[in-house]
Structure 1
Amino acid sequence: MIHSALPIIHLLRLTAVITGIGVSIVCARAEAVSTATPLTTEALSFDRIATTDLPALKNSLEKAGWPDSHIRALLGLEVQRRLNPEPVLRFEDLKPFHFWHTGPDSLPVSNLNTPELVKARTAREELVRAKYDELFPHAETETGLLDRWEEQRRWGDLPADKRAQVLALLDRSARARDDFLESRGRMLNPQEWETLWQTNHDTRRQLEQLLTADELLDYDLRNSNTAARMRNELDAFAPTRDEFIAVFRLRHPLELAFEDKPHGGDPAIDAQREAAEKSALEKTAALLGPARFDDYLISLDPVCQTLRFDGRHARTDAATVRRLYRSFLNAKQRLASLDTQPLPEREAAATSLKAGIHREFRTVFDEEATRRFLQEQSLWP
């Protein structure tokens, strides 16, 4: 017993030593804080800030160790105060109320959006922006960050000269379409629609000549309607990069061939579209293999897409959503098979099935999300 107690005694002593060191450090820090020079009223005087040249104020704050975010916030407010101050409304500025006055005349203030006032306000806002840009020439706003992201999303690694050529091509095409629509009062007959769509086909051919095969594929993966639909439809599928490209190669030709041919317009074209879609689906099945193709198919189901949307909020992965969706489909099928059983047995089995699917969903979703989905699908216990 004595030997077994020795380690505990040593541990207690060591803890006491460490605790003492910790207390000493805390006390030393507290003493350092307490001995720091207190802020004086003069140091915090707003008059000093308000009368200091803005570049000098920025320089002083930087030397004092202020974070960039705080400097931007303070100087942003000060620039606004100096160059475009908010008007101070006083009671004597309000118009007296007369019950027989109508429209704007019955309001407490006059119209603040007259052309003269708007022009003056715009001029002041431009002064504010110019001064802020002068103080922070390299500051990147949230809008600027999103613009850069959008540029990367749209172009990837496409060289600048190619980007300019593509933009010029798309601009010419857009202006040609707009001019054609305007010349027809934006009311086209079937033949004129064919002419308009031909403009799109011509643009596509020029784009294919302008870009290499790899550049064109990358551009389409970023900008085509097919790719956008796939990003929306296949969230529950969660494709790899290679899977996305492979499926895209099968689906994108359908867009190019039939995007200008509405369903029901021509039975022969509808038959061609149906055959092309069937062929693309068969090739997709062969490409993905049975398991992933089944994942692909259920991800196209709007109900599965709804479940995946809820899964995003629950921070669960696509595989879990697919598992729950398959359980949901199985429960629906088993419920349908109960129709031939006697009523008491059918009700008992249905209650058991619904309770089971409820328990499984609750392992992933909260009660509200579970109830909402199962009620919509008539599976609420």
Structure 2
Amino acid sequence: MKLYLIVFSILIYSINANSEEKKYTLKEYEKTPKTLSQVNRLAIKLQREMLVSKLHEILMAGRPSRFFGSAGNKKVKDKIIEMIDSSSPSNKATLELFDIKTDEIKKSYSADFDKYLASGVSPGSEEAANMRLFTESMLNVLDKAKEIKGENIIWEKKGYLQPDEVLIIGVNYDTIAQDPKKFIVSGDGEMPGADNNATGVAAALSLIEVASQVSIGKTLRVIFFDGEELGQSGSKAYVEAHQEELSKLKVAGFINLLMLGHDTVDKDLSKKSGNFRAYTRTSDENEKGATIDLVLANYISKVANKVRSSVEFTPTPRKDLFSSQKAFTDAQIPSVILTHDWENDFNTDHHTKQDFAETLNFSTFHNATQAIIGSVLAWSFDMR
């Protein structure tokens, strides 16, 4: 462990020294792009060292854990605000506090366990025993979270052409880890959370850094959710607190950036690299919802591929998507999860103590982030 920390610290110093020399800056004529190719150049201008530096700053600030209410969680919250305010002095971060609805979430976990048993699984099986341990440990963790305030971080930049049209991008900055064999969850111990979801946080911070320098046409809002690993508490609290406001705005959709650094070929069932997904609801769950989700997913996928053809966000309907997008779909807002290929190349290190930066594919992470930034900026100008 000591050797790992020494190597990690040297790597951080090297990356930060590099990034000091390579700040993201635009010339005046670049700040008002007129074509998609000009927008693409803005995205591609984000260098890999800039992105990786942000990732490592988040990991260092949040050691050993960004678990809800932990010291690391508080430090990384402060670090995110510091990084936003540094790159976007004209549009600084705001903070919103919320309470975890522990009783409501506990009922949800208990109901999920009862539903699981009702599916036909033998109550005496090892699988059922592990699921019981997971549920009980989650209920215990939730009890400890009762008195802790969650803290969502919000950044917004108004569009100069159509300020009432808004695209919301969301990421969670908290972590959780469980025993991979018995599924027991604890609020203690190491939870590095490199892919889940420091990659999403770093990508969102990079988007802010670029967008803060561009005269965007429509409004962009980026939210860093706390408490998402505890029943998606941060996103639920945000939508509930902003229900009236969101109903008055023209919200084009919500994009959840999640686990953007995992990409293998040897373990990938399709033996492909760069095969990412844009997950949406299925028509069986909600026919109208699936349709509007797919419109957003198709747009992002098409434009992202023009920015970086090496990464493909394939629109994919999938049932039971329980992530930050759930609160927004419940509010009738089109939503998409941009992430790696869960069907063919799922990151088995997620929610474990092995979710280290060293396991990530930095090339794909960089390309995916550039593609996302390009597609989001293009949306703000109605470019296709």
Same fold (TM over 0.5): no
Q: Which structure's CA Rg is the greater one?
A: 1
TM-score with structure 1 setting the length? 0.22
Greater RCO structure (CA 8 Å; 6+ sep): 2
Greater percentage in helix: 1
TM-score when scaled to structure 2? 0.21
Larger strand proportion, structure 1 or 2? 2
